[in-house]
């Protein structure tokens, strides 16, 4: 099974992708996570990408497409959730061709719809465990015990440098101008399923689950 989660920054793609991965035994492929890994590793690609990510822009299609293609090959047919990819029409077209060439089929394209005010609020309070990467939110999903990761017990946390108000504004513009245009692309193919991404995380997950199980 191959599922795409589409939506603006802060819509809950990562949160829901993790649940889908666990529930359905799929592998979560997040291009944002892959890029942050390159940044941490200090690779040439990472250095190039960091400038663009900090400015809230999009990394070049060629880099992203190459990265995803080799990752899909390494999974040898396992089910996949694409989180944060595709983000441009060129990426969507390249994905179609890639899947065709690899003899794979796209099952669901799920769009998470969330109000802009809620996006800003979600991104503003997002943090993660520095050790295991578990995701949290100051208000909506705090740790059970203050300052201690529920999953691994670590007391160190991090916030993404691009979750500051100014970069968030640029990321929302990039979404509107470069990513939203791919919605009609999938709509024309009859693959797009839009769901309400407002409300509790569990409730949103139930909506997504309904589509994946259909
Ligand atoms: P994305 O991957 O789309 O950028 P995330 O899954 O990282 O979004 O979610 C952004 C922030 O909002 C995180 O801090 C997460 O805990 C929180 N969040 C996710 N889904 C919801 C929800 N349904 N209600 C409230 N907060 C949410
Ligand atoms: P979010 O969904 O919260 O905006 P991501 O972790 O998906 O965050 O992406 C973080 C940044 O990484 C983006 O703002 C962009 O600069 C870059 N990026 C991630 N995925 C892509 C992609 N498919 N194409 C181009 N740039 C990407
Ligand atoms: Zn942890």
Predicted pLDDT at 151: 97
Which residues are found with C-beta within 5 Å of the ion, ligand 3?
129, 131-132, 134, 149, 151-152, 154
* 16, burial (CB in 10 Å: exposed 0-12, middle 13-18, buried 19+): buried
Pairing of strands 192-196, 108-113: parallel
* 178, burial (CB in 10 Å: exposed 0-12, middle 13-18, buried 19+): middle
Predicted pLDDT at 77: 84
Predicted pLDDT at 141: 97
Tell me the pLDDT tens digit for each residue of 86-124.
Answer: 999 999 999 999 999 999 999 999 999 999 999 999 999
- Confirm or reject: Cβ of 112 under 6 Å from ligand 2: no
Residue whose structure tokens are 């080799």: 70
Which segments of the chain does DSSP mark as H helices, in order? 13-24, 31-41, 44-55, 61-74, 89-102, 116-124, 165-174, 182-188, 201-212
Mean of pLDDT over the chain: 97
- pTM of whole model > 0.75? yes
Ligand 2 atom with minimal separation from the 174 CA: 14
* pLDDT above 90 for 182: yes
- Confirm or reject: Cβ of 7 under 6 Å from ligand 2: no
- Confirm or reject: Cβ of 15 under 6 Å from ligand 1: yes
Q: How far apart are CA 131 and CA 149, in angstroms?
A: 9
Indicate the top mutation candidate among 110, 127, 133, 141 to test ligand 1's pocket, ranked by most ligand atoms within 8 A of CB: 141
Indicate the top mutation candidate among 7, 9, 12 to test ligand 1's pocket, ranked by most ligand atoms within 8 A of CB: 12
87 is catalytic: yes
SS3 for 100-116 is HHHCCCCCEEEEEECCH
| CA of residue 100 to ligand 1 center, whole Å | 32
Partners of 128 in the β-ladder: 135, 158
* pLDDT above 90 for 189: yes
Among 46, 20, 25, smallest CA distance to 34 is for: 46
106-129: b (≥16 Cβ within 10 Å) or e: bebbbbbebeeebbbbbbbbbbbb
């Amino acid at each position: 099974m191959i599922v795409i989660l589409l939506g603006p920054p802060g819509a809950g793609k990562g949160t829901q992708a993790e649940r889908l991965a666990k529930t359905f035994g799929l592998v979560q492929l997040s291009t944002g996570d892959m890029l942050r890994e390159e940044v941490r590793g200090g690779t040439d690609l990472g250095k190039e990408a960091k400038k663009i990510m900090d400015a809230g822009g999009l990394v070049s299609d060629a880099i992203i497409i190459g990265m995803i293609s080799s990752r899909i090959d390494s999974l040898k047919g396992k089910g996949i959730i694409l989180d944060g990819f595709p983000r441009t029409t060129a990426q969507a077209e390249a994905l179609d061709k890639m899947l065709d060439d690899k003899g794979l089929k796209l099952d669901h394209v799920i769009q998470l719809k969330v109000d802009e005010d809620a996006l800003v609020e979600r991104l503003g309070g997002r943090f993660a465990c520095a050790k295991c990467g578990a995701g949290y939110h100051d208000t909506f999903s705090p740790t059970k015990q203050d300052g201690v990761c529920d999953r691994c017990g670590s007391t160190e946390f991090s916030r993404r440098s691009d979750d500051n108000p100014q970069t968030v504004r640029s990321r929302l513009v990039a979404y509107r101008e470069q990513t939203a245009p791919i919605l009609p692309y999938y709509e024309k193919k009859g693959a797009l399923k839009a769901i309400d991404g407002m409300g509790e995380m569990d409730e949103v997950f139930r909506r997504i689950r309904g589509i994946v199980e259909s």
